[in-house]
Amino acid sequence: MGNRQSELLDEVNQLLTQYRQEVPGARRAWPESIKTRVLELRRLGLNYSEIARRTGVPYFTVLRWRDEKKAPSFEPLAVVPSRSSSPKVVTVTVPRSRSKPRSRPLFATVTVAVPGGIRIEGVSLDFLLQLLPRLKDGAR
């Protein structure tokens, strides 16, 4: 057991020396290889202050790793059916001109989200001013 501890301590010290040389600056992400070895040292019986002293990894960093849970990067969400009978989807396409492309757009685009889940994107202000009164009145 003690042999594995000294082996892990040597590995962490070597990895830490190499890491500090290759990744300059402060506030950098710790490599997973160092984290796993430090946590294994704890499982082998070393306390956190001893691990920090013998490896050179800050004490509070070791404590933070202790409390870290490996959470999945994807969180499933429940699908809730829409209250309306059928969702309305509107697509607006701006035709491309066949002339030489310009470096600046001819007009600014606007994005608007209206109640009911409708989102209007990439339209000109003139078009939007014509569309909004129709949406308010319910005209189609």
Domain count, the chain: 2
Q: Is the pLDDT of residue 13 over 70?
A: yes
Instruction: Say yes or no: 62 and 8 in one domain.
Output: yes
| pLDDT number for residue 52 | 92
Q: Which domain holds residue 93?
A: 88-140
Whether 11 and 56 map to the same domain: the answer is yes
38: nearest Cα among 28, 52, 27, 26: 52
Assigned domain for 83 exists: no
The DSSP output letter for 126 is H
72 falls within a domain = no
pLDDT > 90: percent of the chain:
9
Mean pLDDT in residue range 119-123: 76
d(CA 62, CA 51): 8
pTM for this entry:
0.46
Give the C-alpha separation, 120 to 111, whole Å: 6
Structure token digits, residue 24? 């300059």
Residue that is written with structure tokens 């920090």 in the block: 52
